[in-house]
Structure 1
Amino acid sequence: MATERHYSPADRLLLQADSALRTLVPQSAHPNRPSPAQGESETSLSKNETAHIAGLMRINHTGEVCAQALYQGQALTARLPRIRAAMEHAAEEEIDHLVWCEKRIRELGSRPSILNPLFYGLSFGVGAVAGLISDKVSLGFVAATEDQVCKHLDEHLQEIPATDHKSRAILQQMRTDEERHASSALEAGGLRFPAPLKFGMSLLSKVMTKSTYRI
């Protein structure tokens, strides 16, 4: 029978440091699934279209950096082992999104945002605090965050040209995964955040999207 491995606080800090490096160092993370764009052909895009799509994919990449940090922070302070395991599993799935977005950004001749370390640190702190408050709040934060991500993805899918099958395939799969993460968090006992709190989160997310589109 398999038993859960127990890590010391020092072990967990080392694991968090390793996760941070794999998230922030370019091309250091490895996906578990192939990119949905793999079977799609590249299409001709104008210079302006290419720059705009790269900006949108840069936003999504930073969003995945934030998701990694959030989940890792929550896993560090989660009280129940099953909640910690759920956070760690979700973080593993988000790695796929991180790699897919970075690869697409580079195919478009651009690079990830230089602000990623800042947003990683902020998101990790928020996740750790949420976990300290309670697992219910932590799970609720996941659900509310994923709801915001789905809204951004819907907006980006409307803006990206229909001919850019590669970018669209990535975003469509990401949306499916994020929606499932939100539902799973609520089913696991997550708190449903009130509308005013979600509105505040929406305003904060706009700061991220506006700053990382170009930087």
Structure 2
Amino acid sequence: MSTRQYSLFDRLLVQGEQAMRTLVPGAAQAARPSPAQHLRSDAVAEDQRRHVAGLMRINHTGEVCAQALYQGQALTAKLPDIREQMEQAAAEEIDHLAWCEQRLNELGSRPSLLNPLFYGLSFGLGAVAGRISDRISLGFVAATEQLVERHLDDHLTRLPKDDLKSRAILEQMRDDEIEHANHALQAGGVVFPRPIKGVMKLMSRVMTSATYRI
């Protein structure tokens, strides 16, 4: 039984559908239940609520960028198994996207208005990385996930101690990101040198500072 070969136009249509599911509020549906679903939702002071919402907004935008990155890489990946790995990783990251959006709704807040911009930038970076080589593309995944892991560690220290729901979500996200980074390196991803990681860290700071409030 033969496997259908999708044309570039077919893949572009899939990318367009995925972009809509990522950017339209409420469109992302998690395959796994939220780690916070059975935890109590204690009331938080207004200043703390705004702070937590800012952190969750950053993490939501980070997942928007992850979706775009993986989809861009899947579009230009040279080997079918690498393309499938990127698409599978993107599917797993949908859970994070939905969990963060749900928590934002519970906090009476919303995703960042800058998400379409960051989606477009991340998609372009992913497509370029995939076009260069699959090893570079996988290395970019690993470096990105390691950067996200450090952000999540930082956010976990900045959450109010009694915000168990946000904490449960971020802890599960961190575990998943570590796994994705390890898989990318095991699949042959290159380890990026420190200067490139420094540039990625600088770009990440721009994103986090902008989306905390906007």
Q: What is the TM-score of this pair, normalised by structure 2?
A: 0.99
Structure 1 residue 214 displacement after superposition: 0.1
CA RMSD of aligned residues (A): 0.7
Pairwise mapping of residues 1-215 of structure 1 onto structure 2 (< 5 A)? 3-215=2-214
The separation in 2 between residues aligned to 1:83 and 1:131, in whole angstroms, is 10
Which runs of no fewer than 5 residues in structure 1 stay unpaired? none
Letter in 1 for 2:176: D
The separation in 2 between residues aligned to 1:132 and 1:17, in whole angstroms, is 19
The separation in 2 between residues aligned to 1:8 and 1:49, in whole angstroms, is 49
SS in 2 for 1:36: coil
Which runs of no fewer than 5 residues in structure 2 stay unpaired? none
Number of equivalent positions? 214
Letter in 2 for 1:74: Q
The separation in 1 between residues aligned to 2:89 and 2:3, in whole angstroms, is 18
The separation in 2 between residues aligned to 1:34 and 1:16, in whole angstroms, is 25
SS in 1 for 2:37: helix
Structure 1 residue 127 displacement after superposition: 0.0
Q: Deviations over 1:127-161 (max 9, x none)?
A: 00000000000000000000100010000000001
The separation in 1 between residues aligned to 2:155 and 2:64, in whole angstroms, is 18
Structure 1 residue 83 displacement after superposition: 0.2
SS in 1 for 2:189: coil
The separation in 2 between residues aligned to 1:77 and 1:6, in whole angstroms, is 14
SS in 2 for 1:39: coil
The separation in 2 between residues aligned to 1:169 and 1:66, in whole angstroms, is 21
Structure 1 residue 175 displacement after superposition: 0.2
Structure 1 residue 44 displacement after superposition: 2.3
The separation in 2 between residues aligned to 1:206 and 1:29, in whole angstroms, is 26
Letter in 2 for 1:54: A
The separation in 2 between residues aligned to 1:101 and 1:6, in whole angstroms, is 34
